[in-house]
Structures are given as C-alpha cells and as structure tokens.
C-alpha cells in the first residue's frame, strides 16, 4: 500500500492471482483514508460488487481499464459523508 497526501494506492492483482481474498485489505485501506484522500485500487477485473459496498459507505468511483487484466479504480468520499 502506497500513501501520499492525495491518495492511498493499493494493488491487489497479485493477491487475487494467488487466490487470496483482498476485501479485508481493501477495507483496511479505506479505514486509513484521511479527509480529501482517495483510494486508488488496481485489480484484474472490474470489481462491480465492491462498487455497491463502497457506495453504501459514501464513496463514488471512477474506473478505467488500463489493459487486459488491469483495472484502475479510484474511490472518492462524497462531499458531506462521514
């Protein structure tokens, strides 16, 4: 997990390739976000079920397919959400 002032960056592609469930790692990263930071997540596929979880937690997302088997998903806390 890489952290800077603007975001926490987390790449779980290797975890998924090794058969490890990354959900807890992702939620831990979300819990470390400071006000104004985003979570940049690198995954091997579009994580549609995660979108619903994050929406309920007050996040919007922006995603892009970087290349086959590499999606970059950025989660932003909605304004006014705690």
pLDDT one-digit tens code per residue, 1-58: 776 678 899 999 999 999 999 999 999 999 988 888 899 999 999 999 999 999 999 9
Distance between CA atoms of residues 51 and 57, nearest Å: 10
Average pLDDT over residues 70-76: 97
pLDDT recorded at residue 10: 97
Q: What is the CATH number of the domain that holds 66?
A: 3.40.50.150
Residue 82 belongs to some domain of the structure: no
Work out how many domains the chain is built from and give that number.
1
Asked whether 61 and 48 are in contact (CB, 8 A), the reply is no
- What residues make up the domain containing 58? 2-77
């Amino acid at each position: 997990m890489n952290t800077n002032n603007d975001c926490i960056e987390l790449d779980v592609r290797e975890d998924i390739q090794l058969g490890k469930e990354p959900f807890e790692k992702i939620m831990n990263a979300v819990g470390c976000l400071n006000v104004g930071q985003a979570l940049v997540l690198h995954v091997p596929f579009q994580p549609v079920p995660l979108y619903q979880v994050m929406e309920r937690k007050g996040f919007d997302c922006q995603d892009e397919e970087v290349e086959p088997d590499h999606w970059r998903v950025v989660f932003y806390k909605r304004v006014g959400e705690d």
